[in-house]
Structure 1
Amino acid sequence: MHPAKSVIFFTTASGAGYGLLALLIAGNVLGVVPAHFWLAFIGYAVSYVLITGGLLSSTFHLGHPERAWRALTQWRSSWLSREGVMAILTFIPTGLYALHQLFFPDMMQGIMGLVGILGVIFCIVTVYCTAMIYASLKPIHAWSNNYVPAGYLLLALMSGLLLLNVLLALWGTTETSLQLATLLVLGIAFAWKITYWRFLDSSKSISTPESATGLGEFGAVKLFEAPHTEANYLMKEMGFKIARKHSAKLRLITLLAGFVAPILLILISLFFGTVGTGVLLTLAILSAAIGLVTERWLFFAEARHTVGLYYGASHA
């Protein structure tokens, strides 16, 4: 599949935004994140900028972005529509809780606590809906599996934790328990990515040229002549190919920048003072950003659509 820059930014930025937003609210409800006005204000601002920027960028991939609103009407059958509806709905409980925490922290604490929990659930559901946009596409073997939604949720949590660690460090405070939780999630995400790639390399779609054309009863089916003299839309968007050697290099960059480097930087930060911790945690999120963008580019580039079987591909 063709890796569109707008969709890559959408999935990585919005995932990080929802991860940070959910953690800020959950941390405040549970009392584990310091109740500092400017810490919360900037934290919510960063999360909403990432979410809004990601959602807006997703419309750039459409042929007619001005018609994007129409997707919201198909929520009964479309995960894309459900994601859009949930993204809008999530602004309500999270926005109310953010306003409560910032300006009216002593009012209706019990009710607003429930609103905050609802906001966290909505964040999780929205990220899940984003993942299901891809996991629901049965013609794409690399996406139509349980690894995809698990990965989207894991990476959203991981990036949210990294952002929250940086925010706390910038305010001169660190939470060892939070850093340890971040290390745990980074380790789980690293294991998930390795497992997903092993699945990708050791399996392929059940669709074949024989099943795609319905000519399997006559024997092996091979492409006799290309249906087009030049690349068409399907070949450009769904027939994108990446060389194995490039894929291996980019996978290594993903693992080193996205997981290994942040783990090492956080481990080192545990032995430094506040100033050193802030620098190291900032480097960790910057490294993770490079790794996550590379990971998401590969997520699209390595996916094979069944339509490729009509253009000479041996498997999907």
Structure 2
Amino acid sequence: MNPAPSLILFTVLSGLGLGMIAWIGLGAGSDAPGFALAGPLVALLLAGIGGVCSAGHLARPDRAWRAFSQWRSSWLSREACLMVLALGAFALFAGLWVLSGIRLRPLGWLAAALALATIHCTAMIYAQLRTVPRWSVTPTPMLFLALGLAGGWLGVQAVVALAGGAAEVGLSLLAVLLGAGVAVHWQTAAAGARRLAAGSSLATATGLGGMGRLRLFEPPHRGQNYLLEEMAFRVGRRRAWQIRLIGAVLGFLLPAALVLLAWLVGDWALLPAFLAHVAGAMALRWLFFAEAEHVQALYYGAPER
């Protein structure tokens, strides 16, 4: 499917921001001067910017408010509602912390639960689509939650280091390794989903396989249309391999090396580790969309794999 930049920015930035909200709400962070303001502020900015980016791929962004009306049946609507609730609860938690110096733990736990629920809803927007095996067959919610929590932890510890506190370097390394493990597990499952998609054909798409070998009499459209642009995006194998390598190096290998380096040169190395992870996560998220094979393309004569 077409990897719209707005969707990449939305899913990555909001996931990181919500991951930071979850960790800070659960008690992570530091009592170092400045963290009470800087930590929540960075988390709210990341989640907020990601939420704004979500409207970038809409034909009428001014109607994005309608997404809040279908929460009974739509994962997208549930995500929008929970995002507002999570940001509101966390902003109240952070405001009380800054003004009074007291963390209201129950409110922080509520904000953390809402943040994790929001990430889950974001993942379910894609995991519910049975027409895209790479999303529906694989543990997509686990991937989104793992990357959000791993990146969120790195973000919290980077702000702790900048605020002059003592960062949790060992746990940061563990977070990177767990995130990498889940990403590898998802990629393995995606390879199985690709084989499942490879079993699809024009015959299975139309349900007319019992009539013998099928071929298109003529294509539904002579020119490019919206469905072909959005549902039949194709990425070359060489390019996909290169981007996957970039995602693995920037998203996990370089952050792990920088976290190890933090033991020698100081906690400041956690900041480039976090920035590298963000860049790697965006590369991997581009592939998440670009390699998704929608069965709709079979009706338009897409090559059978």
Q: Normalised by the shorter chain, which TM-score bucket?
A: over 0.9
In the alignment, which residue of structure 1 is the partner of 2:146? 154
Match of 1:45 among 41, 45, 52: 41
Counterparts of 2:215 and 2:196, CA distance in 1: 18
**Where do residues 194-273 of structure 1 align in structure 2 (5 Å cutoff)?**
194-202=184-192, 203-205=195-197, 207-272=200-265
State the alpha-carbon separation in 1 of the partners of residues 118 and 29 from structure 2. Answer: 23
Give 5+ residue unaligned stretches, structure 1: none
CA distance in 2, matches of 1:207, 1:101: 55
Tell me the distance in 1 between the aligned counterparts of 2:175 and 2:95.
Answer: 29
Q: Distance in 1 between matches of 2:153 and 2:292?
A: 28
Identical-residue share of aligned pairs (%) = 36
* Cα RMSD, aligned residues only: 1.7
AA in 2 matched with 1:38: G
* Residue 220 (structure 1) shift: 2.8
Q: Which moved more, 1:296-305 or 1:40-49?
A: 40-49
Distance in 1 between residues matched to 2:215 and 2:181, nearest whole Å: 38
* TM-score, length basis structure 2: 0.93
Q: Secondary structure at the match of 2:223?
A: coil
Q: 2:289 aligns with which of 261, 277, 300?
A: 300
Hey, what's the Cα distance between the residues in 1 that align with 2:203 and 2:139? 28
The CA deviation at 1:22 is: 1.5
Q: Output the amino acid matched with 1:74.
A: Q
- Give TM-score, length-normalised by structure 1: 0.90
Q: Secondary structure of the equivalent of 2:196?
A: coil
Structure 2 matches for 1:2-151, cutoff 5 A? 2-27=2-27, 33-106=29-102, 112-151=104-143
Q: Shift of the alpha carbon at 1:124?
A: 0.4
On the 8 A contact 1:158/1:186 being kept in 2, the answer is: yes
Cα pair 1:71 1:80 within 8 Å, conserved:
yes
1:173 matched to 2:165? The reply is yes
**Counterpart pick for 1:313 among 298, 302, 305:** 302
The secondary structure found in structure 2 opposite 1:139 is: coil
AA aligned to 2:203 is E
> Segments of 4+ in structure 1 off by > 4 A?
none
**CA shift in 2, pair 1:291/1:139, >3 Å:** same
Deviation at 1:171, TM superposition (A): 2.1
Q: What's the offset of the Cα at 1:146?
A: 4.5
Q: Which segment drifts farther, 84-93 or 34-43?
A: 34-43
Q: CA 1:315 to 1:152, structure 2 compared with 1: closer, same or farther past 3 Å?
A: farther
The match for 2:178 among 167, 178, 188 is 188
SS at match of 1:231: coil
Cα contact 1:131–1:149 (8 A) shared by 2: yes
* Alignment pair present for 1:286 and 2:286: no
Write the distance in 2 (CA, Å) between the matches of 1:49 and 1:220: 55
Unaligned runs of 5+ in 2: none
Residue pair 2:9, 2:282 contacting (<8 A) in 1 also: yes
Q: What's the CA shift for 1:37?
A: 5.0
